[in-house]
Amino acid sequence: MTGAPSSKAAAAAAKPRSAAIASALSTLETEAAGLAALIAAVGNGLGEAFEAAVGLILGARGRVIVTGMGKSGHVARKIAATLASTGTPSHYVHPAEASHGDLGMVAPEDVIVALSWSGETAELRDIVDYSQRFDVPLIAITSNVESALARAARVVLALPLAPEACPLGLAPTTSTLMQLAMGDALAVTLLESRGFTARDFRTFHPGGKLGANLKFVRDVMRAGEAVPLARTGALMGEVLVEMSAKGLGCVAVVGADGRLAGIVTDGDLRRHMANDLPTRPVDAIMSRAPKTVRPDQMASEALRILNTAKITALMVVDDGRPVGALHIHDLLHVGVA
C-alpha cells in the first residue's frame, strides 16, 4: 500500500524512549531555551551593553583579565583561552589567588571581565575593589543587575534568567552555557573587528590537526629538482621519463619564458595512448588550463581544490611560473588530509 509506514518504522515510532534519552533531550531542550532567551536579550537591550563591552576591550592598551569562581571560573578560563587564540591578549586570574598576590598581574591598561551568575561571589570582592581603586575598567557578566558586581562594573552584560537543566535547579548548567556563549560572542566580534585572519590564527595554533590545516602550501610542497618539468615542444618520450622519475603522475609544461603553459597527467596519457605517443610533441597532449595554487595559500585550500576537481596533484605557481608541486600524499603526510 503506497504511503503506508514500514513495519520497522512503525515499531521504532512506537518504541518508548529510555529514561537516559528522555533525560538527555530534556537537558538539551532546557539549555536551548536558555540560549534562545539570550539571543532575544541581545536583540532587545543587551546588544547595546555588548557593543560597549567590545568598544572597551578594543580601546584597551593592555590585556583582558578574565575571572570567576567555581563553575564560572572554569568558563572564564575557556573564554580567556579563546580570546588569546583569536587575537585578543588575555589570561585568567583566579579570584582567590588574586587576593594573595596575583592582583599584581592586573595593570591599569587592562580590562577585567568578571563572571558571576549571582553577582555576589565573595571571592571576587578584592579584584573588584582593585579595579575601583586603580580605575581598571570592569565588565560584569551576571544575571543580577542589582548585585554588588553589577553596581561596580562599567559595563554589565546582564544574562536573562533561565531554568537550570539540573532537575534540582542547583548544578550550573544552562547558566554556564549562557556565560560561555556570551564569551564566544565577544571573542568572535573582537576577532572580526581586528580583521584577524586564518593566517593570524595559525600563529597561535601550530600543532595538531588544526595546525596542519593552517600550514601554507609552501610549507608542504615539493620544490627544486623534485618538481616535474618539461619545455613546450619536447617529445612525449622525454616527458614520460620525467614523469616516471619524479613519481607525481604529472609533468608541468613551461614555455620559453618559464611560465606554465599546461600539464600532462596520467589521464592525458590514457586519452592519447597510441604507438606513436613517445614521438608526439607535448603541446598536442597537454591540458592547457591546469588547476594551480599559490605558495601563500593555506594547505586546507589546496586540499579543497584537489577534492573538488577529483585530482591528486597540483602545480604551485608564483607569477605564472611553477615553483613547486603538491601531491595529496604530501597533505596526508603532514596531517592535512
What pLDDT does residue 300 have? Answer: 85
173 neighbors 31 (Cβ within 8 angstroms): yes
Looking at residue 337, what is its pLDDT? 60
- Does this model's pTM top 0.75? My answer is no
DSSP 171: S
Q: What is the Cα–Cα distance from 71 to 79, expressed in whole angstroms?
A: 13
Torsions phi, psi of 64, nearest 5?
Answer: -95, 120
Q: 20-196 architecture in CATH? A: 3-Layer(aba) Sandwich (3.40)
**Contact residues for 256 (Cβ-Cβ < 8 A; gap 6+):** 231, 232
- Per CATH, the number for 217-334 is 3.10.580.10
pLDDT at residue 57 in the model: 96
Mean pLDDT of the chain: 89
pLDDT digits over 218-256, tens only?
Answer: 989 999 999 999 999 999 999 999 999 998 999 999 999
DSSP letters, 282-328, are GGGTSBSS--EE-TTSBHHHHHHHHHHHT-SEEEEEETTEEEEEEEH
Q: Give ranges for CATH 3.10.580.10 in the chain.
A: 217-334
Calpha distance 97→80 (Å, rounded): 17
Task: Read off the pLDDT of residues 101-135 as tens digits, 9 standing for 90 and up.
Answer: 889 999 999 999 999 999 999 999 999 999 999 99
pLDDT, position 318: 94
Q: What is the mean pLDDT of residues 5-11?
A: 56
Q: How far apart are CA 64 and CA 80, in angstroms?
A: 8
Sheet holding 321-327, edge to edge: 292-293, 313-318, 321-327
Write down the pLDDT at residue 87: 87
Q: What is the band of 12 on the pLDDT scale with cuts at 50, 70, 90? A: low
pLDDT score for 298: 85
Where are the domain boundaries for CATH 3.40.50.10490 in the chain?
A: 20-196
pLDDT at 94: 96
Residue 88, all three cell numbers = 585578543
Q: What is the pLDDT of residue 122?
A: 93
CA distance 176 to 117: 8
CA dist list (Å): 205 to 209, 213, 282: 9, 10, 44
Per-residue pLDDT, averaged over 304-328, amounts to 92
Bridge partners of residue 260, in order along the sequence: 254
- 70 φ, ψ to 5°? 65, -135
Whole-number pLDDT of residue 8: 57
Of 193, 200, 198, the residue nearest 57 (C-alpha): 193
Strand order in the sheet with 250-254: 229-231, 250-254, 260-265
User: Is residue 1 pLDDT above 50, yes or no?
Assistant: no
Q: What is the mean pLDDT of residues 156-172?
A: 92
**For the stretch 195-204, what's the b/e string if a residue is b when 16 or more beta carbons lie within 10 angstroms of its beta carbon?**
ebeeeebbee
DSSP state, residue 42: I
Residue 322 near residue 254 (C-beta atoms within 8 A): yes
What share of the chain has pLDDT > 70, as a percent? Answer: 90
